[in-house]
Amino acid sequence: MEAESPAGTRPGEPSGKSARKRLELQRDAEPGPPLAATSPLPPATACPPMAPSLDLVTHPPASTTQSPSQGQDGGTQPGTAPPGKTRRLQREDLAGLRSRLQKVTALTQLPPVPAGASSDLRNHLEQVRQLELRIREKKAGHGTTSGDTGASGDTRAAAPAAEASEKPPAYQRFHTLAQELPPGLTLPYKFKVLAEMFRSVDTIAGMLFNRAETITFAKVKQGVQDMMRKQFEERHVGQIKAVYPTSYRLRQEKNIPTFGSGVKKSEYQLTLEPVLGEEEKVDGRPHLSASRLLERRKEFNRNLVNIVKQHHKAFLAALNPPMVVPEERLTRWHPRFNVDEVPDISPVELPQPPREDRLSTAQEVLSSARGMLPPKMEKALANLALRTAEADAGEPAVSKAPSPASTSSALKGVSQALLERIRAKEAQKLQALMTRDAGQEERLAMLGRLPAMARVLRNVFVAEKKLALPMEVVCARLADSCDMQMPPGEMEKHLRLFAELLPDWVGIHVLRTDTYIKLDKGKELGLVTERLTKAAKEAEAL
């Protein structure tokens, strides 16, 4: 390829200056890959600029037959260097390039870590090595998870992962702690979800039942999932039947119109029929009314609370000392009873479509195939049947509280009788807490506020410089001065409680249509506060 001529010079005109420029353009246009291939530098190291003379020697133009320094007649144009001088320049440039390459190579080599390096640097290096080993082990573990898990080490490593995957999320495990309602007989999160599922099933079943339409599980499933945005399976129907056995009558029926739902008419389907009383009829046929739906929902919630009460009773029996609280007097759970850890409800067995040739247990398989299987397989089936029979014979276990820990080392020198008295007193206080009704809770809350309000009440009378003030004025002053925000009606309740507990300090007098509060400003405030605190402690101990 021929380079363009400079301005003012024709392409065929001989000129040394123009020939030199043509050579430089040709050298810039063609890089030298053979030199880069033989360079000892790594790929990330920037190579130094290469000499133009070396580029001309190593990469002559292969496609051209005429040198740019030659004329059309093949002669050498004026201004070109003789061949001997060109070879000498090439050798000098090659020697300079080699020296530059050696310098760059020496610079790219990292100096070794000195022997007297600081301990911090060595610690950091060791941490980096340990992290690298952990990453490699983790990658290796992920790679072998889908492979053979027969080794004991792999089994032990997979067990914690399986437990972590089965662990419910935190919003379910600590559901009761995040409730804004006052403490009471709250239900676990899974029980509340099941109660909402029962309400949805009852709503859909009521509409279908009142239209005299057959209630199939497929229809109920689709409706419940649309209402709750949660998965609804046959297992949940079994749980509903276990909690409320008389709610539905379950059967397997066939020849039910499916209307293009993908199920054949001749196939068996699970059907639900609400169980109603004889008196619940409209126009001669049973009718599921809204009031009956509300009663069924309340009954289901009561059954759920009774199930939790059984687990709570087992928890109290495992305490030291054991506690016995009547269920009819129970208003809240024990403070250490974790409601969300109550085990899930075991579903009852649902009706199955009749299949004569269906083998469901190991005993049936063993009896039907006796003499046709190898001895080892028969022995394995016999062992499986024996274990299944033992598991069926055992009763369902109620959740047990962990056994109380033994006396800690910090209490080794304390008398055992003293520890028993302290535990008995604590158990009595907790029992009173669990059997306290809503009225007692409200009174205790008011008693707790009285000591702080006594000081504000006295300051109101001192500022007004009067012995008696109207009830409305005192309530307004207290509402403006107290830390807690309460309406005037609540303030009046607190003032009447003052008059009940300390009649010699606060008096309430009714004159015609007005009510006045009279306060004895001469009483010492410290004695008043002490009496109020004592009254609050006595009420809490009851």
CA atoms of 303 and 355, how far apart (whole Å): 34
**Strand pairing class (248-253; 281-282):** unpaired
Q: What is the rounded CA–CA span in Å between residue 289 and residue 210?
A: 9
218 located within any domain: yes
Measured between alpha carbons, how far is 185 from 229 in angstroms, rounded to an integer?
27
The alpha-helical segments, DSSP class H, found in 349-487 are: 362-368, 375-393, 416-434, 438-464, 471-481
How many H helices and E strands in the chain?
18, 7
List CB contacts of 281: < 8 A, sequence separation 6 or more.
Answer: 287
Same domain, 83 and 196: no
CA torsion sign for 443, 444, 449, 451 is positive
Which residues, including other chains, have CB under 8 Å from residue 452's CB and lie 6 or more apart?
482, 483
Q: What is the pLDDT of residues 485-519, one digit of tens each?
A: 788 788 899 999 999 999 999 999 988 888 999 99
210/287 Cα distance (integer angstroms):
6
* 514 secondary structure, DSSP code: E
Candidates 296, 337, 291; CA nearest to 187 is 337
> Are 201 and 294 found together in one domain?
yes
Domain boundary among 317, 350, 380: 317
Q: Distance between the two ends of the chain, CA-based, in angstroms?
A: 110
Which one-letter DSSP state was computed for residue 115? T
| Residue appearing with tokens 């046709």 | 372
Q: Is residue 383 part of a domain?
A: no
Residue that finishes a domain, picked among 271, 300, 317: 317
| DSSP code at position 245 | T
Residue 312, token pair as written in the block: 């709570």
Neighbours of 296 (CB within 10 A): 22
- 313 in the same domain as 189: yes
Structural domain boundaries enclosing 85: 16-70+78-102
Residues 173 and 340 sit within 8 Å (Cβ to Cβ): yes
Alpha carbon 48 to its chain centroid, in Å, reads 57
Domain check: are 94 and 200 in the same one?
A: no
Q: Are residues 188 and 88 in the same domain?
A: no
The per-residue pLDDT string of the chain (542 residues; one tens digit each, 9 = 90 and over) reads 444 444 444 544 444 444 455 544 444 444 444 444 444 444 444 444 444 444 434 444 444 444 444 444 444 444 455 556 566 667 778 888 888 888 877 776 655 555 555 677 777 788 888 888 888 888 776 555 444 444 444 444 444 444 445 677 887 878 777 776 566 788 999 999 999 999 999 999 999 999 989 999 999 999 999 999 999 999 999 999 999 999 999 999 888 877 666 677 778 899 999 998 776 777 778 889 999 999 999 999 999 999 999 999 999 999 888 888 888 888 888 888 988 889 999 999 999 888 655 556 666 666 666 667 777 777 787 888 777 777 766 545 444 444 444 456 667 777 788 888 888 888 777 777 777 777 788 888 889 889 989 999 999 999 988 889 999 999 988 888 888 778 878 889 999 999 999 999 999 998 888 899 999 888 899 999 999 999 888 887 76
Residues 194 and 292 in one domain: yes
Within 10 angstroms of residue 74's Cβ, the number of other Cβ atoms is 8
Looking at this protein, which amino acid is placed at residue 493? K
On whether residue 234 sits in a domain, the answer given is yes
Is 416 within the bounds of a domain?
Answer: no
Considering the domain architecture, whether residues 313 and 200 belong to the same structural domain is answered as yes
Which helix (DSSP H) or strand (DSSP E) does residue 69 occupy?
A: none
At a CB cut-off of 8 Å and minimum separation 6, what does 295 contact? none
Within a domain: 236: yes
Query: How many angstroms separate the CA atoms of 476 and 490, rounded?
Result: 11
Residue 95 within any structural domain of the chain: yes
* Number of domains making up the chain: 3
Domain CATH number, residue 312 = 1.10.10
Q: Do 87 and 211 sit in the same domain of this protein?
A: no
Question: Where does a domain end: 284, 317, 350?
Answer: 317
Q: What angle do CA 138, 140, 144 make, to 5 degrees?
A: 115
Cα–Cα distance for residue pair 331/226, rounded to 1 Å: 36
Residue 478 neighbours by CB distance under 10 Å: 21
Domain with 523 in it: what CATH number?
1.10.10.1420
**85 within a domain of the structure (yes/no):** yes
Cβ neighbours around 451 below 10 Å, total? 17
Domain for residue 98, yes or no? yes
The answer to whether the CB of 30 falls within 8 A of the CB of 56 is no
* Spatial contact of 420 and 321, defined as CB atoms under 8 Å apart: yes
Beta bridge partners of 510: 515
